[in-house]
Chains A and B, each alone.
Chain A
């Protein structure tokens, strides 16, 4: 039997939502996939077919929200008139807006990521492809439109922005201000700073500084600590990649 792509998508969203609801109600550890399947009205084999583990379900949730956020951004007719900073800010605010009704669930995940050993931070990175792709696109357009000059570390910036985004979510989770006003201001201020940096040549100065340190100190200390010639050249290659792009 063949199921259409959109029907599949619908089932996935249905399972995700009932999973989120159950986790909010019972906690991550006590919520079973079996019960999630029951609440979503699907069979046990079906849910395992979609999500082999509860962890997979979490990552799917995050990916799903990225997808919805991007779709929401696409609905903004004059999005091309937004500055790079406004576009990035809109992306983050939209994601948070989507998280809002599942806030209790997000708090649990954040707890598992930052405090308990339940989830590996690294695993979260596997979910960020769409987010990074979106940021990368915004960045490319801004450079092409000459809104900003090509920044050093260009290809690393989208990943850096994801790290920043995780930090914002962590802040939001702990935010107890009215309507999460503090998070809104935190985002506004920090992106204002990022904007200022992108518009100045501080980054290229930082790159100069980086090269200086690399040449004078890092190489020396690396040579000192490197026991095997192999690993040393590997690290050096990697650093070279970062600094030269």
Chain B
């Protein structure tokens, strides 16, 4: 069948328009029949993601981003999104040859010693090919032509759609952030820079980060050294021991917080596809398309807030810190308290749960993400019409963490929190000075 990516404002607009028309009809139906809400969400999720499926490419990425960026999204949407993870359109051999020639100046056979025309993995908005040059095994990521241009039209669908379902919760801010992140993600040169940054600064012998080949990289082609390892699903299918699982989860967990507190950067995409499980308990980090820089001032406030949360300080002082962070809008005390207890508190209780004790067993708490989604769904049902901007750095950190927790739960891992708490305390002491 035709795998083509619909492009051009007119044709995309038509697909978008059709989807919105369908949603409109469903919404009306619900008001008329006062039917079951859950059922309705499922239907709408179907319609939206059918439309997104038709748009393909960027939309899939947007869908992922929306899922991660909107903790208030009903679980039906998240389920749909998770299905779309590997649905990026494939780039056929003719196109791969053409892209390599356009981007690197020569056809694959003249650029590399060998080049596998069939991709071995899907990647963000493209696919990855195995190649060799000067005896080195390389991973060459190529991007579908025209992706960048279609971001804009796809985002207008997301913006319109999300506005309808977010019921007054802030959307503009997140949509803007997602759009910016997508533009960054289609720029492979930026990804190369981020990859180099992490490679140079992560000082852990168990973390392996590929080497970038700048002479073979452009905005649309990224060449790095090839890492030989298993992806998440294959790794888990091999029945690893509990100890191995725990070690990997610990490595992921500690590295995330190390990057946050020491490098002030986070790898803000918890997609398990970004990890490779290598020999001897080493972990490969690949795909640096979604890296977020964290500002010093924010980090200090964020850290203090979380230390306070862990120390179970009173709500009033915590609310003040949320106000400083821009997560709660300054208004009268009673309203702030209601907003906090109804919306924020259930969420932060969830986020901090694994951090409270010295260790946390995701195997024993294998309902963590289920409880999480249910709570988010519950929060989502509450009608809060006050529209204010939420701090996007805050959301990005916590959505990433939630993604990792869901991953640890899938692994059935147990993590120790000592190292991370030390980092938090150390950072606090340094900034207090």
Contacts and interface: CB of A to CB of B under 8 A. Distances in A.
Interface of A: 72, 75-78, 81-83, 85-90, 93, 97, 177, 179, 181-182, 184-185, 188-189, 192-193, 195-196, 199
Contact of B93 (A82, A97, A189, A192): A82
A83 B102 CA distance: 22
Contacts of B145: 179, 181, 184-185, 188
Main secondary structure of the interface of A (DSSP, over half): helix
Nearest to A89: B94
A114 B277 CA distance: 58
B98 A184 contact: yes
Interface string B143-175: 001100100000000000000000000000000
Given A97-B101, A185-B146, A76 B4 contact: no
A184 B103 CA distance: 13
Interface of B: 1-5, 7, 92-95, 97-98, 101-102, 107, 109, 117, 145-146, 149
Contacts of A88: 94
Nearest to A194: B2
B146 A182 contact: yes
Contacts of A181: 145-146, 149
Chain B contact surface mostly: loop
Given A97-B101, A195-B2, A196-B2, A184 B95 contact: yes
A225 B107 CA distance: 56
Given A81-B117, A185-B145, A192 B2 contact: yes
26 contacts: A75-B107, A76-B107, A76-B109, A77-B109, A78-B117, A81-B117, A82-B93, A89-B92, A90-B98, A93-B97, A93-B98, A177-B149, A181-B145, A184-B95, A184-B98, A184-B145, A185-B145, A188-B4, A188-B5, A188-B95, A188-B145, A189-B2, A189-B4, A195-B2, A196-B1, A196-B2
A171 B119 CA distance: 30
A93 B145 CA distance: 13
Q: Which 5 A-B pairs have the closest CB atoms?
A: A89-B94, A189-B4, A192-B2, A90-B94, A192-B4
Contacts of A184: 95, 98, 145-146
A65 B7 CA distance: 30
A85 B146 contact: no
- A81, A83, A184, A188 — most chain B CB neighbours (10 Å): A188
Contact of B7 (A86, A185, A196): A185
Contacts of A75: 107, 109
A76 to B, nearest CB: 7
A88 B94 CA distance: 8
A200 to B, nearest CB: 9
A86 B109 contact: no
Given A90-B98, A181-B149, A189-B5, 13 more contacts: A72-B107, A88-B94, A89-B94, A97-B101, A177-B146, A177-B149, A184-B146, A185-B146, A188-B92, A188-B95, A188-B145, A193-B2, A195-B2
A89 B95 contact: yes
Contacts of B109: 75-77
A86 B5 CA distance: 16
A83 B1 contact: no
A90 B97 contact: yes
Nearest to B4: A189
Contact of A86 (B93, B101, B149): B93
Contacts of A82: 93-94, 117
B163 to A, nearest CB: 30
Contacts of B102: 179
